[in-house]
Amino acid sequence: MASLASSKPHPHLLDQVLVEDNSFSKTLILNRPKQLNALSRQMVSRLFELFLAYEKDPNVKLLLLKGNGRAFCAGGDVAAVVRDIREANWKSGAEYFRKEFTLNYIMATYTKPQVSILDGIVMGGGAGASIHGRFRVATENSVFAMPETALGLFPDVGASYYLSRLPGFFGEYVGLTGARLDGAEMLLCGLATHLVPSAKLPLLEEALVNLDSSDPARISAIIDEYSERPYLKGKSAYRRLDVIDKCFSLRTVEAILSALEKEAVNITEDWFSAAIQSLKKASPTSLKISLKSVRLQHTFD
């Protein structure tokens, strides 16, 4: 894997991922706020290099990852990949995804704790850069979604793994419809490990960067000090797991949509009608691939 990393990063890489040197940790800041910190090729390469380097550094006990602006990360820079394809440079796009997916693997198997501060938008590739880490801190500003089926794609970045491990068939609901979840929903379904008010984040970060330890129990205890109990909104989809399980447990996309339409006679919540409309507008092929990928992961449990 080391062959994928470059020893001398281009100066442009340094601007898109900022690094704060702390006593016992490193804080990595995704820095494309105008693009909602969408992961560019340069950002993926820089994160790749930094994660590999810090894993070998005994002075680095943990990594903090956050975004500059109102997003943690809104996903991969798909627009750049599309431009490459239109210019007959599909190999560049393939290399982008190869390195991004390898970065996801590194994060998932990392030997040091990664604390991701999800204070804002977390979508697509942004989920891949955080959910695989040990700690995911949501706030009242968090907005999570996997919107790929609306784009003719499917939830990648290891999403079939973590979506399949959500309660019941909530992962199928999230992956197929692209539904948006708030911080409380993220915590309750397991996408987040903690829920911290955004006003307390500076205090939390200060406590973490001064911790001379990689012990997950000590890190978790610190985050717990600043955490709050989740408040689930009255019309949250997570309150209707019974209906979600009934419909999204079915074997095919067609059966799921048919079941939802039958249930719509008695359910008038906005999230329910939005789910039906999302399925009708999404790419049929994307829906089938997405469902199959999550279902296959269920068989590995």
Catalytic site positions: 76, 125, 148, 156
In this structure, is the dihedral angle defined by the CA atoms of residues 28, 33, 144 and 123, taken in order, positive or negative? negative
d(CA 77, CA 89): 15
- Which residues are CB-neighbours of 201 under 8 A, at least 6 positions away? 117, 119, 137, 139, 226
Closest CA to 157 of 133, 128, 119, 181: 128
260 close to 272: Cβ distance less than 8 angstroms: yes
d(CA 252, CA 273): 19
Number of H helices, E strands in the chain: 14, 10
Instruction: Tell me how far apart the terminal alpha carbons of the chain are, to the nearest angstrom.
Output: 28
66 close to 47: Cβ distance less than 8 angstroms: no
9 close to 43: Cβ distance less than 8 angstroms: no
Reduced to 3 states (helix: H, G, I; strand: E, B; else coil), residue 221 is helix
Written as six digits, the tokens of 34 are 């105008």
Reduced to 3 states (helix: H, G, I; strand: E, B; else coil), residue 266 is coil
70 close to 32: Cβ distance less than 8 angstroms: no
Residue type, 68: N
